[in-house]
Structure 1
Amino acid sequence: MPSVLPDGEPMPEDGALPRHALDGSGQRPLGFYLHVPYCATRCGYCDFNTYTASELRGSGGALASRDNYAETVAEEIRLARKVLGDDPRPVETVFVGGGTPTLLPAADLGRMIAAIRDEFGLAEDAEVTTEANPESVDPRYLEELRAAGFNRVSFGMQSARQHVLKILDRTHTPGRPEACVAEARAAGFEHVNLDLIYGTPGESDDDWRASLDAVLGAAPDHVSAYALIVEEGTQLARRIRRGEVPMTDDDAHADRYLIAEETLSAAGFSWYEVSNWATSEAGRCRHNELYWRGADWWGAGPGAHSHVGGVRWWNVKHPGAYAQALSEGRSPGAGREVLSEEDRRVERILLELRLEEGCPLALLKPAGAAAAARALADGLLRAEAYEQGRAALTLRGRLLADAVVRDLVD
C-alpha cells in the first residue's frame, strides 16, 4: 500500500460510481482488500501507508485508534454495499494486509470478515488471507483466526539471517517464521505463504541460499520473493545515501533470482507470476491473481486502492481522516480516475505479461507486435506460447521483464 497517492478527479461524497462500471460485472470476480495501517515499529525499507503508536499520538485522537478500527472498516464495507447496489456477486477473495494486521485481536479481523459475509456473502470456496508478523502471533491466535474464517496466512519472513533482518529493521528472530508455518498447519491452515526479500545490503549469495533452505524446511505451499526496492524517503535510503550501507546492484538481484528459481523449482514449486511460486494450482494466491487479471476489488482502509469496471479510486491516507469521513456518512475516497480503453490495454500488458501464461498478442499494436517478434528471437519470449497467440516470458525474459514490457506497450 504505497504511501503516496496519485492525482485524480474528486471522489463523490456518496462514493457513487459511473453507471458503466458495473456493466458485465457478472463475468468478473469480486474481491476485498482490507488495509490495517498499524505497526509496532517502522521497518527501514518500508514505504507503505503505516503508522506506529507514537506517530498517531496527537494526530487524529480517538479516531485514529486501533481499538475501534474493525467497526470503522465494517462501515466502509456497508458503504460498498450501497455503492454496488444489487450487484449479486459473492466475494471470492479477501486479503487483509498492512501494516501488521495481527496487531489487532483475531476477533477484530474476524469482525471485518463477518461484515463482508453479511453484506455480500462469501463464495463457498472463498480464499480469505491475512498477512502476519511472525512475532505477533502464537498457536492460540492462529486457531482464533482459523475459527474466524481465515484459510490462508502469509508470514513476513524476509530472511533467515540475523544481520540481514537487522538491516531491514525486522524485529522477529530467525527461525520464528518457520515455526509459524508449523503452528498455522496445526491450527488448520491448508495454505501458508512465506515472504522473502533478496538484495538487502550486506546479503551474500550464501545468505540467500540459507533463507531459501529455511523456507523449504518449513514446507509452506507458497513463496513470494521480491527484490528489495529502496524507496526515497525511507530510513534505508538515507543510510545508503550517507554511505553507511552499500547499495545492491542489478547483477546481484539477477543472480539471487536465478538461485531462487533453481532452488524452488527443484523442490517442487512452480512459478506462476514473476515473484511468486506455489506447489500446486490450489496453492496460488487467488487474490493477487485477481489484481493481475484486472478483476474487481474494493479496498477498505486508509490509503487503500479499489478498482471496479475500469474505475480506480483511493482512500485518504491518515486513519483519523479516514474514520472521520465514515463517521460523517461520507466516502473516504480521496480521488479517482476513469480508465480509458487505452489505459486498460496498457495495464493488461503490464500485469498479464508477469504471469506464466503471459498476455494475448492481440493486445499489441504494430510497434509492440514487432517488439514481441524481436523478443522471441532474443529468447525473451517462449516459442510455444507465441505460436498460440500469447507473449509469455522465458526465464531470461523474467530477468528483463520491465524492459520487455516497455517495448510491448508501444
Structure 2
Amino acid sequence: MAGALPLGDPAPADGRLPADLPVDPAVPFSAYLHVPFCRVRCGYCDFNTYTATELRGARQDEYADTLIREIELARAVLGETGGIRPLDTVFFGGGTPTLLPPGDLARMLTAATAAFGIRDGAEVTVEANPDTVTPDVVRTLVGAGVTRLSIGMQSAVPHVLAALDRTHRPENVRTAVEAARAAGLDVSVDLIYGAPGETLADWERSLDAALALQPDHISAYALIIEDGTKLARQIRRGDVPAPDDDLQADMYEAADARLAAAGFEWYEVSNWARPSTALRQAQGPSPVDHRSRHNMAYWRGSDWWGFGPGAHSHVAGLRWWNVKHPAAYAQRLASGDSPAAGRERPDPEARTLERVLLQSRLAEGLAIADIAAQRRARVAELIGDGLIDPQAALRERRVRLTLRGRLLADAVVRALTD
C-alpha cells in the first residue's frame, strides 16, 4: 500500500467544489479510473494497491458498481459549476485493471461516457498485466470503446523480473501484443531499468525484445526505491544492492539510442512514441498520435477527475484526493458521501513550480516566460552546462532539454525554481 495521503484542507462530505472556482469549459477534461487490485505486490511498488488478503471488507465483484456511484456524484458536482465537458482521454490504471472481468471495465467506461460524453477520436487506455490479456478480453474492451492497451512488460530477462517480483511469463507479452494488434488497438509497453542484478547487457536484451514487438509507444522508467516497500527494506538490510546511478544513466542512453535508431521519438523524459505523418503536419492530438495523450493532459495541467480509492483529481487549480482503502471508499459512497479525503488550492508560486517540473520534461519544452522572472537568467547557465538546447532557447524562447539535460532533469528544475 502507498504512503500517507497529502496534507490539505478537509473536503466537504457532499463533494461540492468552491463556488468561486473558475472552471473553464474550454480546458480539456480527462478521467482516470483506478483499479486497486493486484494478485501479488511487486517489491518496488508504492502505488495504492491491494492483494486479496488486504481488502478487509472490500469486494472486487462489487467494485465496478461502487466506482460508478462516484461517476454519478462527479456528474452532479460538475453540473453545478458548468464544468461538464466531453472526455478527451480515459485511463484505467492500477493495480491491474484487467484482474476485473472485462465486462466490469466496459460498464465503468459506459457510465463515464454517459455522464460526460466523449470526443470523437478520444484516447481510451487500459493498463494490463500480460498474463491477463486474451483475445476475448481484448474484444470486449474494444467493443466498449477502448483504443489503447498499455502492457506491463518491465523486462524480458527472467532474473530481472524475479528481482522486481513480477510474476508474468515473458512469452505472454508477445501473446498480449498480438491480441491487441489483431483487435486494432494501439499498443504501449512499459519497461523498468536498474533492478538489482540487472546488467547493461540485460537491459539491452529487454530493449531489443520490446522493439521486436513493434509497439507504438515505449515507456522506460528508472527504478526508484520508495520508502516502505519490500525492496527498500531489502536494500536497507544489505540483501540486494541499491540502484547504481551511473549504470542507470548508461541504461538511459542505451534506450534513447536504440529507440531513436528504430524510429521512435522521445516526447517526455521517460517516454518514446512512433511518429505519425498527421502529427508532423498539425499541432495537437490526432487519431494517429501515438503519444500518451492522457499523460500529456497531466503534464500540461489540464483538468481531470480521478475515480477510485486514493485517486487524485484536478479541476481549475483545485486538487483533491480520495480515501485510500477500498472498504472506506465503498462505505462513503454507499452512504451518499463523497470519497474525497482532502483538498488544496496551490498558490501561484506552487503552481509555477509544478509547471516547471512537468513541462520542462517534455520535448516541446517549457516557455521561458513561464519561469519566474528572477530565475530566467539561469537559462544561460544551463545552456553553458550543456543541459538546455541553445537554439530552442534563443529562437523559440523555450527550455528544451538536451540528452544530458534529460539525465539531469531534476537539477534543471532545481536551478529554475530554487
SS class of match (1:40):
coil
Q: Any gaps of 5 or more consecutive residues in structure 2?
A: 280-288
SS class of match (1:19):
coil
Alignment of 1:399 onto 2:407? yes
The one-letter code of the counterpart of 1:45 is Y
- Counterpart in the other structure of 1:310: 317
Alignment of 1:118 onto 2:117? no
- Counterpart in the other structure of 1:340: 347
How do 1:161-172 and structure 2 match up within 5 A? Answer: 161-172=157-168
After superposition, what is the alpha-carbon deviation per residue over 1:80-129, rounded to whole angstroms, capped at 9, x for unaligned? 11111143410110000000000000000001110111111011111100
Alignment of 1:296 onto 2:303? yes
The one-letter code of the counterpart of 1:341 is P
User: Does the Cα contact within 8 Å between 2:31 and 2:87 map onto a contact in 1?
Assistant: yes
After superposition, what is the alpha-carbon deviation per residue over 1:272-309, rounded to whole angstroms, capped at 9, x for unaligned? 00000000241000000000000000000000000000
The one-letter code of the counterpart of 1:11 is A
How do 1:78-89 and structure 2 match up within 5 A? Answer: 78-85=72-79, 86-89=82-85
Alignment of 1:154 onto 2:150? yes
How do 1:1-80 and structure 2 match up within 5 A? Answer: 2-23=2-23, 25-56=24-55, 59=56, 61=57, 64-80=58-74
- Counterpart in the other structure of 2:285: none
User: Does the Cα contact within 8 Å between 1:3 and 1:303 map onto a contact in 2?
Assistant: no
After superposition, what is the alpha-carbon deviation per residue over 1:13-59, rounded to whole angstroms, capped at 9, x for unaligned? 11111234343x22310000000000011111111110000112xx2
- In the aligned structure 2, how far is the partner of 1:185 from the partner of 1:156? 16
- In the aligned structure 1, how far is the partner of 2:159 from the partner of 2:4? 30
RMSD: 1.2
Alignment of 1:273 onto 2:268? yes
User: Does the Cα contact within 8 Å between 1:178 and 1:214 map onto a contact in 2?
Assistant: no
SS class of match (1:26):
coil
User: Does the Cα contact within 8 Å between 1:198 and 1:228 map onto a contact in 2?
Assistant: yes
SS class of match (1:229):
coil
User: Does the Cα contact within 8 Å between 2:163 and 2:195 map onto a contact in 1?
Assistant: yes
- In the aligned structure 2, how far is the partner of 1:322 from the partner of 1:22? 28
- Counterpart in the other structure of 1:371: 378
2:240 to 234, 237, 245: 245
- In the aligned structure 2, how far is the partner of 1:385 from the partner of 1:2? 39
The one-letter code of the counterpart of 2:102 is A
User: Does the Cα contact within 8 Å between 2:2 and 2:49 map onto a contact in 1?
Assistant: no
User: Does the Cα contact within 8 Å between 1:8 and 1:335 map onto a contact in 2?
Assistant: yes
- In the aligned structure 1, how far is the partner of 2:2 from the partner of 2:16? 24
User: Does the Cα contact within 8 Å between 1:178 and 1:215 map onto a contact in 2?
Assistant: no
User: Does the Cα contact within 8 Å between 1:93 and 1:127 map onto a contact in 2?
Assistant: yes
Change (3 A) 1:118 1:396: same
The one-letter code of the counterpart of 2:146 is F
Please identify runs of 4+ aligned residues in structure 1 that moved more than 4 A.
none
- In the aligned structure 1, how far is the partner of 2:2 from the partner of 2:122? 26
TM-score normalised to structure 2 length: 0.94
- Counterpart in the other structure of 2:365: 358
How do 1:219-258 and structure 2 match up within 5 A? Answer: 219-258=214-253
SS class of match (1:164):
helix
The one-letter code of the counterpart of 2:48 is N
The one-letter code of the counterpart of 1:405 is V
SS class of match (1:68):
helix
Report the Cα offset of residue 232 of structure 1: 1.3
- Counterpart in the other structure of 2:356: 349
Identity %: 58
The one-letter code of the counterpart of 2:44 is Y
Q: How many residues align?
A: 403
- In the aligned structure 1, how far is the partner of 2:147 from the partner of 2:172? 20
TM-score normalised to structure 1 length: 0.96
- In the aligned structure 2, how far is the partner of 1:108 from the partner of 1:375? 49
User: Does the Cα contact within 8 Å between 1:130 and 1:153 map onto a contact in 2?
Assistant: yes
- Counterpart in the other structure of 1:196: 191
After superposition, what is the alpha-carbon deviation per residue over 1:380-405, rounded to whole angstroms, capped at 9, x for unaligned? 11112101111110111000000100
The one-letter code of the counterpart of 2:111 is A
Report the Cα offset of residue 3 of structure 1: 3.8
SS class of match (1:209):
helix
After superposition, what is the alpha-carbon deviation per residue over 1:342-363, rounded to whole angstroms, capped at 9, x for unaligned? 2211111110000001111112
The one-letter code of the counterpart of 1:18 is P
Report the Cα offset of residue 170 of structure 1: 0.3
- In the aligned structure 2, how far is the partner of 1:342 from the partner of 1:242? 40
